[in-house]
Each structure stands twice: as C-alpha cells, then as structure tokens.
A = this chain, B = another copy of it.
Amino acid sequence: MEFTFLGSSAGTPTRSRNVTALALGPRGPKPWYLVDCGEATQHQLLRSRYSVMQLKAIFITHIHGDHIFGLPGLLTSASMLGREEPLDLIAPPQVGRFIQAAIENSDSSLSFSLNLINSEAEGFQWQDEYFSVTAVPLSHRVPCRAFVFTERNLERQLQQDKLRANGIEAGPEWGDLQKGKDVQLADGRLLKADDYTCIPRAPRKLIVAGDNDTPDLLADACQGAQVLVHEATYTQDVAERVGPWPQHSSAEQVARFARQAQLPNLVLTHFSSRYQSGTEGTPNINQLAAEALRHYKGQLFLARDFDTYRLEKDFTLHRLENSG
C-alpha cells in the first residue's frame, strides 16, 4: 500500500503546500483512490505518478472548500481526457450539489458516470477487490469523517499437509484453492478454499481522518490500524490562542491520543499556513514535530506535498523519496 500527500496546508495554499488531498493506492498508482480534493489537486497530479484515468474512487471527509474546490476541475479534466470508466464519489450530499452547479453553470458535461455515494449514511461501507472502507464520525464545524481503509483479499497460503493427507496431490486445483476458489474434483468431492488455505497475516489498515478536534473518537477504529493520518493544524499554544471555534486539533492532542491508542505510526498533516516550512522562519513546522514528539514515542512523520509512504505487508511504514 502506498499513499502520497498532494496537499498538506490548512485552509489556504502556500507556495510549498497545497490544500488537502491524499492519493492512496493498494500497490502503486494503478488503480488509486483520492481522499479530499482541494483546489489545484489536478495540478498536483501533473507532478505525481497518479493519473485521473486510473482513479477509482474519491472520498471526501467534509464540505469545506479547502477539501472540495478541486473537484469541478479534476472531474471536467478527466472528461476532456476522455475518461469513460465510472467513478465513485463518496461524500456528503452537499458535494453533489456543488458539482452539479459547477457543471450546469459552466456549460460542462462528464464523459463518465459519477456515482454519488452518501458518506454520512447510516452504516456506510464501500468496498472493491482491494479495500473495505468504513467511515468514523469526527467532531468539526460541519459533519466530518475519517475513512478507514482495510485491505481485502489477502494472499492465501495452501495447507499442503492437509491437502496431501486428504489425497489431493499438487496440480491445477492447488492454484485455484490458493486464489480462494472452491474446487470440484473429478471424484465429485467439493473442496472449499477456506478449508485448505489460511491467511498468514492480518490485513493492513490505514486511517485517513478529516478535520477533527477530538482524536479520541478514533479510539475504536485505531485498533489493529498501523497508520493514522490526522490533522495537526496548530501547536497547543496557538490552538489556545485561536480558541475552540475552528474545531481543529493541536499536535499535542493528536500525539497524546496516538500514544494512548498505541499506534505504531502517526502522520500529521493539514498545517496552518502560519507555519514556515524552511529551516528559517517562525512559527516553524518543526515546532509541531517537536511538540508531538514530547508526547508520542512511535514513528512520527509530518506530511510534505509529494511525499510518498509505503506500508509493507509486515506493517513497517517507510517514507520514499520525494517525487515532487
């Protein structure tokens, strides 16, 4: 599993950080999924390995402009490129209305079906061959969700001893069973894949959260998760100065939660544009890292645009070379 930050700035873009978007692929860029789509996400894609032609679904955490204003351009550009593959858009209902208004009032049309799926529906769940995705309600100024991506269809391991003990020798049937297919033998016996294979590892599980002032809401979802991507808009002192109205988290808040939840990997993102990214300038993004590290002892990362991460089957998380 790989994911790439296409934006890591809160509210407004800066010269080095775009507003929120994250690309996620089960095995690289084909196919891939987009979580949030701030303005100029399509521009960021031009500098990444991801193409809108291989995009399978878009997940929108909430309706704020810095998470959705890139949708009209991304969708109509996909159309101009001739995309025909249907596209799932998992989002609050207002997002559909925004897109409809954008299309209607700009003489546009889409060359593919856009399937609007209400992310706020009771018991929401989405899945394809790679992932099962559920949503966790968060606490923000508007309804907001974290999306929990859990790997599906893990590789099966044949129970060879059991097969041989039952007189089934190596052959094409073994291959089918390993792919999860049940097999009918020549002698009439039906072999169930689940009886002759096992899945030797737990699924990878990644959580991408939207804006949220209460990380504790993710406590249950974090069980068995290897990575949490969560906003840390401010340091604690700035959060206190700004007051509770924006309903964002501080680095300290998220770090404390991640420690409590025993999360092995925490990736912070969605930084207020006041934080400078270079080695100079105050307030600086390094203050967010320093604050988080005082409270969290797992592996901590701060998102940068175009940073790609790989979550291995053994649950280790690596940051790959920046491709931007």
Report which A residues bind B (CB closer than 8 A): 11-15, 18-19, 39-40, 42-43, 46-47, 63-66, 68-70, 72-73, 76-77, 80-81, 94-95, 97-98, 100-102, 104-108, 141-142
A15 to B40: give the CA distance in the assembly, Å. Answer: 12
Contact B65 A69 (CB under 8 A): no
Provide the residues of chain B in CB contact with A39, threshold 8 Å: 39-40, 42-43, 70, 72-73
A20 to chain B, nearest CB (A): 12
Chain B residues positioned under 8 Å from A81 (CB to CB): 12
Give every chain B residue within 8 A of A94 (Cβ-Cβ).
104-106
Residues of B within 8 A of A66 (CB): 73
A68: chain B residues within 8 A (beta carbon): 106
> Which partner residue on chain B sits nearest A108 by CB separation?
B65
Instruction: Report yes or no: A102 in contact with B98, Cβ–Cβ below 8 A.
Output: yes
Measured in the bound complex, the distance between the Cα atoms of B102 and A94 in whole Å is 9
Chain B residues closer than 8 Å to A142, beta-carbon distance: 107
- Which of chain B's residues has its CB closest to A16's CB? B46
Q: Are B65 and A141 in contact (CB under 8 A)?
A: no
What's the number of copies of this chain in the assembled complex?
2
Bound Cα distance A66, B66 (Å): 19
Residue of B nearest to A40 (CB): B40
Q: Pull 12 A–B residue pairs with CB atoms less than 8 Å apart, ordered by A.
A: A11-B77, A39-B42, A40-B40, A40-B43, A63-B106, A65-B73, A65-B102, A65-B106, A68-B106, A69-B102, A94-B106, A95-B105
Q: What are the residues of chain B within 8 A of A97 when measuring CB–CB? A: 101, 105
Cα–Cα, bound, A107→B63 (Å): 7
Cα(A101)–Cα(B64), bound, Å: 13
Q: How far is the CB of A283 from chain B (nearest CB, A)?
A: 18
Q: How far is the CA of A80 from the CA of B12 in the complex (A)?
A: 8
Chain B: minimal CB distance from A104 (Å): 8
The distance from the CB of A13 to the nearest CB of chain B, in whole angstroms, is 5
Assess A98 versus B107: contact at CB under 8 Å? Given A46-B15, A65-B73.
no
Q: Which residues of B contact A19 (CB under 8 A)?
A: 73
Q: Which residue of B lies closest to A39 (CB)?
A: B73
Given contacts A65-B76, A69-B72, contact A43 B107 (CB under 8 A): no
How far, in whole Å, are A81 and B12 apart by their CA atoms in the complex? Answer: 9
Contact A64 B11 (CB under 8 A): no
Distance from A306 Cβ to chain B, minimum over Cβ atoms (Å):
13
